[in-house]
């Protein structure tokens, strides 16, 4: 639980708020930066953007297929386009537009899935995006990132704005704790970040599950178990060197994601490890293949063991001889 | 921007289109694949676009101020390839690589081919992309016009109507959609598979300025394209009544020729018929 990892860092803002503030800063300086929304400026925290830069926000109404097609057309004319819509709709209803209009046609659109994963909580599975990594990992020519904290979010928005290729970013709507206190280097796609040191086992976590995994590391440390935590904001390209090093060093690997256990970070890591003949004790923690339980994001996380204690228990079980 | 080879008149366009029909059939025959009927129905429209209307320069295909053409009905790519080659975007001989291993001439349009702006082939995508391009043109710094060719069967895809709403809402009078209204799709008559009529009324109701024309009458087509945009502040729609398989009597109005490939004897008969048409005054209307 977020409250359990707040011992040191102060809580930050919701990543969505940081996304919109960062984008506004960038767009003030660059009139070619545009936002396209599908009646989603409120949930995307883009109302101030629209108020200050109305000429740089294009509204297409509740029509996500058109949102992505329009974004592709705009990008083809040299604009830097951020297409912003709830991740659940953006990556399912518009999947063919993402595949053909953006990725296959190679227009450097930034697709921004807001209120991703189970951010919408009790609104139910229509509003959850537990498929987006799986669907988008199978589409060529798309960088995939799920920033964990405000620093990663800010860095990912800057990196996406500069990217010459299509990018998908997903953000949640709840405030998140700071994880990177004094980063030594700027954010880059394809980098994993070591957030806790240890060689007994490794948590490889992405998005808003990372602070939960950090909480688990601290619990385990008090029991004499030294867990490594790699924050993996970029699902494609993966930081293969960092992940392989963790799997070679540690006896157990646990992946954690706010996504179905099918087709996301866990299976990407499993594939990587098998290709390198590495077979540590291994668990994929995510949302299982079932009708997702009703509840807030926090309650859903806790229900499926995506909590400091749940993850610590998974680690204890995995390390038990 | 060079406009060389543009502003061809109706008679010249008609002669050229007749020659290009034969080239389409030879390319499809050699490839052993292609969309014969639909390529022939839209060929006159593509000929007038590339040899009269579009402000493009094959020597500078990336010129930011060029007009854009998006072929939403991507399956008629053979007609597009033939017209692009005729306009000098790539050598005519490249047409013989259509659908071959590692050829840039894929069975649907891709940006691998010089002159093609967008990868299409899944239906119901082109008009949204074209609307985005038209928005981009309006934002500047390079104003240009955008043209999008739609099939009539394609209009069953709901995404077209999202795009139609959007273009009218944003008052994109630099955007023209052209419907290749040949009335047939792969299964049979459009009105039997999924009736999309009344098309002119629908587009008017969506906020577009509509003109209905004979899609094979170059006199009328020249006048229609010259009159664009039809109304300030509104996107333009040209509802072009066409004949699937146009120009070859045994292919005309036959849904079976949607993607049938002409055999050797059929190709010979078709080319002979096109040659005899070329020897007579250009036909108008249908």
Mean pLDDT of A4-22: 76
Maximum Cα interatomic distance, chain A, rounded to a whole number of Å = 62
Say how far apart CA B142 and CA B150 lie, in whole Å.
25
How many angstroms separate the first and last alpha carbons of chain A?
28
Is the Cβ of B117 closer than 8 Å to some Cβ of chain A?
yes
pLDDT at A4: 34
Is residue B26 one of the residues assigned to a domain?
yes
Binary contact (A72, B132; C-beta < 8 A): yes
Give how far B110 is from chain A: nearest CA, Å: 7
Query: What pLDDT, in 10s, does the model give residues B229-241?
Result: 999 999 999 999 9
Same fold, A12-177 and A193-319: yes
**A241 burial class (0-12, 13-18, 19+ CB within 10 angstroms)?**
exposed
Query: What pLDDT, in 10s, does the model give residues A247-274?
Result: 999 999 999 999 999 999 999 999 999 9
Say how far apart CA A75 and CA A89 lie, in whole Å.
21
What is the domain partition of chain A in residue ranges?
12-177, 193-319
Binary contact (A69, B131; C-beta < 8 A): yes
| pLDDT band for position A281 (cuts 50, 70, 90) | very high
Percent of chain B scored above 90 by pLDDT?
93
Structure-token pair, residue A321: 């001889």
Say how far apart CA B114 and CA B198 lie, in whole Å.
37
Query: Which residues from chain A sit within 8 angstroms of residue B71, using beta carbons?
Result: none
* Nearest residue on chain A to B136, alpha-carbon basis: A74
Query: Which residues from chain A sit within 8 angstroms of residue B122, using beta carbons?
Result: 96, 100
Domain holding B225, by residue range, is 10-277
Report helix, strand or coil for B47. Answer: helix
Is residue A144 pLDDT above 60, yes or no? yes
- In this predicted complex, what is the ipTM? 0.95
- Across the interface, of B118, B132, B142, the residue whose CB is closest to A71 is B132
pLDDT at A1: 26
Token look-up 């993966």 returns A238
Domain count, chain B: 1
Mean pLDDT over each residue of chain B, to the nearest integer: 95
Among the listed residues A110, A129, A62, the one whose alpha carbon sits nearest the alpha carbon of residue B158: A62
pLDDT at A5: 36
Helices (H), chain B: 10-31, 36-48, 77-86, 126-139, 159-169, 190-193, 199-205, 218-226, 264-279
Is the Cβ of A222 closer than 8 Å to some Cβ of chain B?
no
Query: What pLDDT, in 10s, does the model give residues A103-134?
Result: 999 999 999 999 999 999 999 999 999 999 99
Query: Which residues from chain B sit within 8 angstroms of residue A63, using beta carbons?
Result: 162, 165-166
Structure-token pair, residue B170: 């944003």
Binary contact (B64, A77; C-beta < 8 A): yes
Mean pLDDT of A152-170: 98
Is residue B2 one of the residues assigned to a domain?
no
Query: What is the architecture of the domain spanning A193-319?
Result: 3-Layer(aba) Sandwich (3.40)
Query: What pLDDT, in 10s, does the model give residues B66-77?
Result: 999 999 999 999
Is residue B5 one of the residues assigned to a domain?
no
CATH fold for domain A12-177: Rossmann fold (3.40.50)
Binary contact (B134, A73; C-beta < 8 A): yes
DSSP-derived letter for residue B282 is P
CATH no. for residue B249?
A: 3.40.50.970
The CB density around residue A200, as the number of other CB atoms within 10 Å, is 17
Binary contact (A101, B163; C-beta < 8 A): no
- Full-model pTM: 0.95
| pLDDT band for position A10 (cuts 50, 70, 90) | low
């Amino acid at each position: 639980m977020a409250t359990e990892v707040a011992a040191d860092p102060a809580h930050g803002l919701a990543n969505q708020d940081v996304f919109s503030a960062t984008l506004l800063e960038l767009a003030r300086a660059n009139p070619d930066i545009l936002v396209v929304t599908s009646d989603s400026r409120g949930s995307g925290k883009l109302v101030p953007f629209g108020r200050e830069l109305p000429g740089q926000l294009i509204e297409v109404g509740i029509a996500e297929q058109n949102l992505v097609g329009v974004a592709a057309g705009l990008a083809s004319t040299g604009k830097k386009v951020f297409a912003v819509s709830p991740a659940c709709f953006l990556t399912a209803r518009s999947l063919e537009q993402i595949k053909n209009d953006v990725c296959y046609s190679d227009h450097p659109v930034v697709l921004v899935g807001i209120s991703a994963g189970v951010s919408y909580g009790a609104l139910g599975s229509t509003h959850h995006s537990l498929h987006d990594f799986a669907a988008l990992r199978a589409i060529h020519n798309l960088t995939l990132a799920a920033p964990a904290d405000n620093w990663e979010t800010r860095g990912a928005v800057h990196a996406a704005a500069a990217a010459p290729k299509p990018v998908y970013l997903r953000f949640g709507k709840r405030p998140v704790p700071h994880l990177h206190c004094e980063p030594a280097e700027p954010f880059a796609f394809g980098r994993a970040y070591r957030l806790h040191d240890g060689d007994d086992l490794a948590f490889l976590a992405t998005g808003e599950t990372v602070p939960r995994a950090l909480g688990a590391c601290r619990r385990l440390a008090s029991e004499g178990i030294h867990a490594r935590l790699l924050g993996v904001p970029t699902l494609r390209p993966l930081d293969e060197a960092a992940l392989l090093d963790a799997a070679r060093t540690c006896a157990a690997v646990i992946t954690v994601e706010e996504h179905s256990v099918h087709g996301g970070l866990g299976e990407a890591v499993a594939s990587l490890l098998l290709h390198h003949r590495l077979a540590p004790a291994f668990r994929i923690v995510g949302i299982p293949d079932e009708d997702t339980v009703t509840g807030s994001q926090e309650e859903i996380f806790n229900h499926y063991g995506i909590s400091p204690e749940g993850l610590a228990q998974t680690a204890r079980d995995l390390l038990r001889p | 921007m060079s406009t060389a080879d543009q502003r061809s008149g109706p008679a010249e366009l008609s002669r050229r289109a007749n020659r290009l029909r034969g080239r389409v059939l030879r390319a499809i025959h050699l490839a052993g694949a292609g969309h014969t009927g639909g390529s022939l129905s839209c060929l006159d429209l593509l000929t007038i676009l590339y040899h009269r209307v579009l402000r493009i320069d094959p020597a500078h295909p990336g010129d930011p101020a060029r007009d854009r053409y998006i072929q939403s009905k991507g399956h008629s790519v053979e007609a597009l390839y033939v017209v692009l080659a005729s306009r000098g975007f790539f050598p005519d001989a490249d047409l013989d690589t259509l659908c071959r291993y590692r050829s840039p001439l894929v069975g649907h349009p891709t940006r691998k081919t010089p002159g093609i702006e967008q990868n299409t082939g899944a239906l119901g995508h082109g008009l949204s992309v074209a609307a985005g391009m038209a928005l981009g043109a309006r934002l500047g710094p390079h104003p240009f016009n955008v043209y999008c060719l739609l099939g009539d069967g394609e209009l069953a895809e709901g995404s077209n109507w999202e795009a139609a709403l959007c273009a009218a809402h944003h008052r994109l009078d630099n955007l023209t959609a052209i419907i290749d209204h040949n009335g047939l799709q792969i299964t049979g008559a459009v009105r039997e598979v999924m009736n999309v009529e009344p098309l002119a009324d629908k587009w008017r109701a969506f906020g577009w300025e509509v003109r209905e024309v004979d899609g094979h009458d170059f006199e009328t087509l020249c006048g229609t394209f010259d009159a664009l945009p039809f109304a300030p502040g509104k996107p333009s729609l040209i509802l072009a009544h066409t004949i699937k398989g146009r120009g070859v009597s045994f292919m005309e109005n036959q849904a079976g020729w949607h993607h049938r490939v002409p055999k050797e004897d059929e190709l010979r008969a078709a080319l002979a018929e096109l040659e005899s048409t070329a020897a007579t005054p250009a036909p108008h209307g249908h």
